[in-house]
Structures are given as C-alpha cells and as structure tokens.
Chains A and B, each alone.
Chain A
C-alpha cells in the first residue's frame, strides 16, 4: 500500500463540508441584486429606514472617534464598515428579543432602545451607562470574549421555558470563535434546541492577528457543524444578505427549531479600539482599499438611488439629525452626577441583603462624602 494513499477518506469528508459554506450575497458591490430569489422584498419604507440607520451609525462612529480624541469619550471600538453586519442583523429582530452584545456592538443595543447618552456613559465608565431602560432587553457590551455566547444559551432557554415568541441574539468576532465559551454556547443551545441566533462578525482581524491564524477551518460558519446547528456564511458588507440570514434564523428559532450560526464576512475600517491600536502595523493600504470598494453604505445607496428611494438631500438630512442627536446626548451625559463610592456600594447587592462589610464601608464613605 502506498504511504500517501488514504484508507479512510477524511480529506474528502472535510472538502465536501467546506464546499457547502460558500458566501451568500444578495446585493453586489454595484448595488445590483444578484440573487433575486433570496431578496427579502422589504417595503420601500423599510429599505429607507435601514439606510437611515446605517448612515446614522457611520456618523456615530465618526463622531465617537472624534469625541474620544477630544477626551470626551473613553473606551471606544470603531464600527465603520460593519454597518450591514450590525444594523441589518438588528433590523431583523423584534422588540421582545434579547441582545447580548460584544464590546464593539454598541450600535445594536442603541437601535434596540438604549439611549445614546447611556452608550456614551458606558464608554466613559459610568454605572448609569449600564442602566438600560425597563423593557429594553439588552446586556451591556461584554468585554470577556465568548462569555456572551454561553449566557445567550441561557437567555434562549429562559425564553423557551417562558413560552415567549422571541430569540436571544449575540455577536462575537472572528477571534472570538476560538474561545471555549464560543463552542459551549452554540453546543448548549443546540442540545436544548433553544431559540438563539449566534453571529460571528468576521472582520478579518482580532486586533493584529489575521483570521487565518485563528483556525485552519476554511470558514467560521462551518464551526456550527460541531454543535449540529444550521449555519451560513454571508457577505457581511451586504445589508440584504445579513438581514435575510438573520430573519431566517430568527423565524426558525421562534418556530422551535433551535439555534443557528451566521458568519458575516466584513471589515472594520478603523483600528481595533481607540486605545492606541495602529492598524498600519498589520494591514496594508491595498487591503483597506479593496474593502473600501465593498462598503455597505455605498452599495446600498446605489441600490436605493436606482429605485428612486434615496438622494443626497435625504442623506444629508440623516447626517444632520445624527450630529444633533449626538450633541444632545453628549450634553445629557455631561449632566449626569459624578459617581460616588456609596453609589458603587449600593449597586452591589439587593438593598435588603447588603453584607455587613459593605454596610460598614458605606458608613465610612458616606462620612467622607459629606465633608
């Protein structure tokens, strides 16, 4: 027997599986529908609203970077380039759905009902930034990469047990798909057949580490196979493809058919975060340019303009509105009282069962603060 001849064709098994995960696209870079059978057929009104949110979010990113540089915001993870992935996926959700965002997923929770001023307070590091309004089903952005995945399995099981027609949706990045909690999360949801939608936003880099150094797997979507859940890779720069994939996953979950995994292939134009990351160390301008042509806003604009649904004046109005709202929200954040140690002690435990050590420390700090 020749040494390089396989007895069991495991290589063929892998290749056959990987071929099935071809990237799904509905709208190409020119703003043309390339998969008419997959077109979600959104109403004109809905298409315009989706564009409005994407443009608003691009401005939010630009203003956030600038406010961060002025020292008027703290931690900030840029979102430009990921509007289709973030906003179009959120657009497929309902108010009753839960969102468990990662640290880059502030836009989704803002569109789900978190006031902009709170998003800014979260960035600055103020506890009021985490006080989401009652009925807005979101957690604060998760810093521990992967933790949101196992928690999502739990929220989804909770929704299932309550018999609610809702899903739990969570996001991580390409790097996050290497975490144990990533796998445990999708596997738990699969074992319980819970209504969860897991989204991997593959923006090509985990800080400076390129996607191919995370795994030898050809796609990240195929990781769903290990959990036995339906999974799909979509063009994450294509709002219609992201919307459609999320909508279908949501529908399937609400029908009681369990969780799904969606990989959105996208790109962040900015640095990893505003805390000193310099993407020129690990990215070439050619790559930036190549992805610049795939911009979700450019292609969606072309698509809507061809339909007569969008023009420059509409876009300018959105930009103006965004700037106004951002200005007002920063002002509102500025007016929130500074944090005191007694505030921090008060939010540790239920007020009726504050432990003795904290009761004692509360008194000490209350005295200090009264001076």
Chain B
C-alpha cells in the first residue's frame, strides 16, 4: 500500500494497464514527453515508448476518430481530452460514433475505448475548463460514465474502465487531483462499473452524490451528526448506468433523500436519480427528494466561483429542509 493522491492513482492505473495489455494505447494533446498538463501520464512515455504513449495534433474530433480507428484494429485506446469543456468538438466521435459502433455493426465490432478528461470547479480555471457536462454523455445510450471521488476509487474504476469492452467516459475532477492522499494498493484491482459506494452509513437521510460534491456532502453529514441526524452518503461513482439497487435500499431505510451535484440544476444527472426514486420507492418517502445544484447560468467567471458553486452549506440547508419537511 502507498499513500497516493488521485492523480498518482490515475497514473498508476494507466501504468498497470499499459504493462498488462500491449493493446492499451495512451494518447492526446501533450500526454507524451510532457506527461500531461496535470502530470497524469508522467513518465509513461519514457517507460513504454512513443509507440504506446504519444502526442496528437490539437484537434479533439481527430482524437476521437483516431480512437475509433485504432479500436477497429484491435487496440484498446485510452485517449485524453485535455478539458471536458472541449468535448463539444468531439461530440460526434463520442456520442455519434463510438457509442454506436457495436450496435450499428449488429454486435460484430466493438470499441473498447476509455476517454479520460478533467473537469470541475474551485481552482479558478479560464473559460470552458471546469464545466460539468457529464449529463450530456450520460444521455447517450452505449456509453458508461464514471466519476471517481477518491484515489482508491479512481485506480480501481480506471482499470475496470479500460478493461471494459465498450466505451467509457472517465471524468476526473480537477479539485480532487491533489487535494488529499489515501492508501492505494500497488497491485492491480478493479471496482465494478455501475456500483455506488456508501461512503458513510446513516439512518435519517440519504445524500446521493458524485465527484467533488461527495466531500462537501461528507462535511455536511458531519455537521448534521452534531445536531443528532444520522446521514448516509452515497457516492454514485458511475453515473451511467446508475446503481439503482443501492440508491433504493438506502432510501427505503432512511425515507428521506437529497441529490447533490456540482452541475447546473438543468444539467447533471440529479433529475434522473430523483425520477428513479419516485418510480421505485415513493411509498418509502416521508418528504420530497430535493436537489442541490448550481444556478442555471453559464459556468461562472473565475472570481464568482465561490458564490456560485454548491458547497457543504448548501447541502446542509437542503438536508434540513428535507429533515424538517
């Protein structure tokens, strides 16, 4: 075991997979000799060579097409999109092509591609770097969407994503890259995709969340504990498909729930989670399921992040509303 930040755990996962499977290829803008703009691919080109870890021209759509083409020749591509705000350039390659390859070939061809991309607010990035656009991809049949919140989860989920025989979009929150360390096994291990994790057990309220909001929710849960409320925090980890079983079991136990996301209220996947709860556990609910989400504006100018981004105080306020309903 070693103490790792999330970014170290990600590099470690990539190293494990490059070592274990010669079909794994890592490529993108500045991921080679530079080791990535966040050092996620640091040292990998030196260790595995330019044939396995390489830079590309600056064109996201081309990178998406490259991944699809390489998959057709039996490779297991792990391309990087430098910031997920740039996904619009590659929406066709991802949602229009990658997601459909197996289906449109009647199951004969497959696209075992894992797209890594950072996103997320709180670090004063320039425009179009921090936007939470996971909701867009989560609406596309054929793709799984993974958002880890801890170093341990990041490594196990990334290895599982790379080994999955269908496309996965793996979103890495910028603020979580180096915000804390955690014990991470040095050997390979996987965490099943589509499985949530109960990060804290409780009996009075379920907080269902993902990404950076997991930590805001845990902080809020601690505060609520002091006031005598036992709060369960569920980290979705995979936002498409959702782990309905874990969500419903929790709501049936606590009878109250909120969904917390960093994305705008009209975006993200909170509405989907609430709809699933309404369809499957309405008789268990003592109160409506409320949302914590960002305002429905464009992502804020960097100086306005602190007043715009949801934080533990918003979680606290919404949790109390539901507890006191």
| Least CB distance, A149 to chain B, in whole angstroms | 7
The reply to whether the CB of A197 lies closer than 8 angstroms to some CB of chain B is: no
Does A357 contact B242, Cβ atoms closer than 8 Å? yes
The yes or no answer to A185 lying at the interface (CB within 8 A) is yes
**Nearest CB of B to A87, in Å:** 24
What are the interface flags for A64-83 relative to B under an 8 Å C-beta threshold, 1 for contact and 0 otherwise? Answer: 00000000000000000000
Inter-chain contacts of A188 with B (CB < 8 A): 56-57, 59, 62, 65-66
A357 adjacent to B241 (CB under 8 Å): yes
List which B9-62 residues lie within 8 A (CB) of chain A: 51, 56-57, 59, 61-62
Q: Considering the chains assembled together, what is the distance between the CA atoms of A152 and B103 in angstroms?
A: 19
Q: Identify B62's interface contact among A128, A150, A158, CB under 8 A.
A: A150
B189 interface residue (CB < 8 Å to A): no
9-residue interface stretch from B105-113, B123-131, B149-157, B175-183 = B105-113
Separation of A123 and B281 alpha carbons in the complex (Å): 44
B72 touches A155 (CB 8 A): yes
**Min CB–CB distance B107 → chain A (angstroms):** 4
Docked-complex contact A184 and B62, CB < 8 angstroms: yes
Q: Which of A114-147 contact B (CB under 8 A)?
A: 127-132, 134, 139-140, 144, 147
Closest to A186 in B: B62
B51 touches A132 (CB 8 A): no
Please determine whether B59 and A187 come into contact, CB atoms closer than 8 angstroms: yes
A356 contacts B by Cβ under 8 Å: yes
Residues of A within 8 A of B93 (CB): 147, 150
Q: Smallest CB–CB gap between A99 and chain B, Å?
A: 11
Chain A neighbourhood of B164, CB < 8 A: 350, 353
Minimal Cβ-Cβ distance residue in A for B65: A150
Bound CA span A347–B57, Å: 33
How many residue-residue contacts, CB under 8 A, span A and B? 142
Task: Give the complex CA separation of A197 and B96 in angstroms.
Answer: 23
Within 8 A of B (CB), among A347-361: 347-350, 352-353, 355-358
Report the Cα distance A47→B236, complex, angstroms.
63
Q: Are B165 and A131 in contact (CB under 8 A)?
A: no
Alpha-carbon distance A191/B59, docked complex (angstroms): 12
With the chains together, A128 CA to B62 CA distance in Å? 29
B186 within 8 A of A: no
Whether A168 touches B97, Cβ cut-off 8 Å, given contacts A158-B74, A161-B75, A347-B102, is no
A40 within 8 A of B: no
By the criterion CB–CB under 8 Å, are B105 and A149 in contact?
Answer: no
Answer whether residue A322 sits at the interface, using C-beta atoms and an 8 A cutoff. no
A6 and B221 CA atoms in complex are apart in Å by 72
Complex Cα gap A120–B143 (Å)? 29
Do A350 and B75 touch across chains, with their CB atoms under 8 A apart?
no
Check B73–A355 contact: CB distance below 8 A: no
Partner of A127, one of B103, B166, B240: B103
A154 in contact (CB, < 8 A):
yes
Question: Is B104 close to A, CB under 8 A?
Answer: yes
Partner of A158, one of B72, B108, B166: B72
Contact of B75 with A150 in the complex, beta carbons under 8 Å: no
Q: Is B142 an interface residue (CB 8 A)?
A: yes
Total interface residues in chain B, CB < 8 Å:
45
Which A residues lie within 8 Å of B67 (CB)? 154
Contact assessment for B166 and A151 in the assembled complex, using a CB-CB cutoff below 8 Å: no
Those of B81-129 within 8 Å (CB) of chain A: 92-93, 96-97, 102-110
Q: A356 with B244: in contact, given A154-B66, A188-B59 (CB under 8 Å)?
A: yes
Contacts A153-B62, A187-B62 hold; do A140 and B69 have CB atoms under 8 A apart? no
B64 sits at the interface (CB 8 A): yes
Contacts of B72 in A (CB 8 A): 98, 139, 151, 154-155, 158
CA distance A347 to B142 in the complex (A): 10
Residue ID in chain B nearest A350 by CB atoms:
B165
Q: Is A156 an interface residue (CB 8 A)?
A: yes
Which partner residue on chain B sits nearest A154 by CB separation? B69
Q: Are A353 and B69 also in contact (CB < 8 A) when A140-B104, A348-B141 are?
A: no
Report whether B68 and A151 are in contact in the complex, using a CB–CB cutoff of 8 Å: yes
The reply to whether the CB of A200 lies closer than 8 angstroms to some CB of chain B is no
User: In the complex where A147-B65, A154-B68 touch, is A355 in contact with B97 (Cβ < 8 A)?
Assistant: no
Instruction: Report the minimum CB–CB distance from B79 to chain A (whole Å).
Output: 10
Q: Within the assembled complex, what's the spacing in Å between the Cα atoms of A161 and B111?
A: 17
A151 to B102, CA, bound (A): 15
Known: A150-B93, A188-B57, A347-B107. A161 touches B65 (CB 8 A): no
| Contact call B102/A348, Cβ cutoff below 8 A | yes
Contacts of A350 in B (CB 8 A): 102, 110, 164-166
Distance between A65 CB and nearest chain B CB, rounded to angstroms: 25
Residues of B within 8 A of A338 (CB): none
Residues from chain A with Cβ under 8 Å of B105 in the complex: 130-132, 139-140
Which residues of B223-260 are within 8 A (CB) of A?
A: 240-245
Q: Are A132 and B108 neighbours in the complex by a CB distance under 8 Å?
A: yes
CB proximity of B5 to chain A, nearest CB, Å: 29
In whole Å, how far is A126's beta carbon from the nearest beta carbon of chain B? Answer: 9
Query: How far, in Å, is A350 (CB) from chain B's closest CB?
Result: 4
Given A127-B104, A128-B106, 15 further pairs, Cβ under 8 A? A130-B108, A140-B105, A147-B65, A147-B93, A149-B65, A154-B66, A154-B70, A155-B69, A158-B73, A180-B61, A181-B61, A181-B62, A347-B103, A347-B106, A356-B244
CB-based closest 3 A-B pairs: A154-B69, A150-B65, A158-B73
**Subset of 9 A-B contacts with CB under 8 Å:** A131-B107, A150-B64, A153-B65, A154-B69, A154-B71, A188-B57, A188-B62, A188-B65, A350-B110
Residues of B within 8 A of A (CB): 51, 56-57, 59, 61-62, 64-75, 92-93, 96-97, 102-110, 141-142, 144, 164-166, 193-194, 240-245
